[in-house]
Amino acid sequence: MYDRTIRRRRLTLVALLACALLLLSVYVGESSSGPLHSVQRGVFSVFTPVQEGASRVLKPARDLFGWIGDTVNAKSRLAEVESSNRQLRSRAIAGSEALRVNAQLQKLLNLNQANGLAAASPVAARVIGRSPTLWYGTVTIDQGSSRGIRVGNPVITGDGLAGQVSTVTGHAAVVTLISDGEMAVPARISGSGAQGVAQTGAGGPNDLRLKFIARRFRADPGASVVTAGTLSNSPKLQSLYPPGIPIGSVTRVVDPGTDAQKIFVRPYADLQRLEIVQVLTRRINGNRP
């Protein structure tokens, strides 16, 4: 019985395939006005309204599934874009940081070459702390005695003198800035050679005064003020600072040509934004010119 059913189904399938091939041959061979084409057009005209109705009924469902798919894809794409943006932002920040640090190191290198400071065994350091005052009288750096840093060593930036080391530990040091009230730096006006002492004024970290300049010496606004160094052979009278390190520029002079003349100096180094500094750990020729 089972074999007879199988044979019957196979014969039916063969008959259907033969009929399909016959109809296809006739359909291809007849003209567009033939009976099969007419039947096709009739069936199409009957089922087209049904198809359109079904399409209208199913459209909201299709739109819903399409919206869900688009939303999922959009969220996935948004996550990818946000991840890419985070990576680009991190790279941009790292690049900006590197450029800023490289610019400061290049300025230090230029200052070293211009003043022959390579022989002073300079040690680069990063500022890691500041005193909580308006004048930022001290900063802490991340290098100490393990790198040969000692109390009294001059500290510079790429723009000029920043201060001197006042406290040292093995791996850190405190730098007292030239804006601190206790600092006094032997200085001279670069053009005239007039010598005096640069000390902080009452106006804040950007207000230095050049004191003890004889009235016969002129100090015009814009003149450069540099460290004086020393001419003495006595170790007790030697300056802590090598000669010629830039300190700042004259901004104005009050009562010029008198014993009471006041010379105001703006530091070249931005003492409120120190980041990379250099400590000069050796004296060059006793800090004489």
Domain borders along the chain are 116-287
pLDDT at 83 (0 to 100): 73
Tell me the CA end-to-end span of the chain in Å, nearest whole number: 123
Q: Of residues 66 and 107, which shows the higher confidence score?
A: 107
Among the listed residues 223, 231, 228, 224, the one whose alpha carbon sits nearest the alpha carbon of residue 212:
228
Render pLDDT for 245-263 as a digit per residue (tens, 0 to 9).
999 999 999 888 887 788 9
pLDDT at 181 (0 to 100): 83
pLDDT at 93 over 60: yes
Residues 86-113, mean pLDDT to the nearest whole number = 74
Question: Which residues fall within 8 angstroms of residue 120, CB to CB, at 6 or more apart?
Answer: 242, 280, 281, 282, 283, 284
Neighbouring CB atoms inside 10 A of 211's CB total 15
Cβ–Cβ < 8 Å for 277, 107: no
Q: Of residues 222 and 21, which shows the higher confidence score?
A: 222
Tokens 């009562």, residue located: 255
DSSP H/E element including 18: helix 2-29
Among the listed residues 135, 285, 107, 289, the one whose alpha carbon sits nearest the alpha carbon of residue 199:
135
Length of the chain: 289
The 3-state secondary structure of 209-238, one letter per residue: EEECCCCCCCCCCCCEEEECCCCCCCHHHC
Cβ–Cβ < 8 Å for 151, 141: no
What percentage of residues in the chain have a pLDDT greater than 70? 71
Render pLDDT for 152-208 as a digit per residue (tens, 0 to 9).
999 999 999 999 999 999 999 999 999 888 889 999 998 888 889 999 876 666 789
Average pLDDT, the chain: 80
Q: How far are the Cα atoms of 15, 32, 33, 37, 91 from residue 29, in angstroms, in the given order?
A: 21, 10, 11, 11, 70
Helices 2-29/35-115 angle, 10° precision: 90
pLDDT at 237 over 90: no
DSSP H/E element including 19: helix 2-29
pTM above 0.85, yes or no: no
Q: What span, in angstroms and rounded, lies between the C-alpha atoms of 187 and 199?
A: 10
Q: Of residues 124 and 181, which shows the higher confidence score?
A: 124
Residue 261 backbone dihedrals phi, psi, to 5 degrees: -60, 140
Give Cα 228 to chain centroid, integer Å. Answer: 37
Q: For residue 78, what are its two tokens?
A: 């948004």
Q: What span, in angstroms and rounded, lies between the C-alpha atoms of 73 and 61?
A: 18
Q: What span, in angstroms and rounded, lies between the C-alpha atoms of 221 and 141?
A: 33
Lowest-confidence region among 38-42, 74-78, 88-92, 135-139: 38-42
Question: What CATH class is the domain 116-287?
Answer: mainly beta
Question: Which residues fall within 8 angstroms of residue 100, CB to CB, at 6 or more apart?
Answer: 275
Q: What span, in angstroms and rounded, lies between the C-alpha atoms of 280 and 120?
A: 5
Q: For residue 166, what are its two tokens?
A: 């006042």
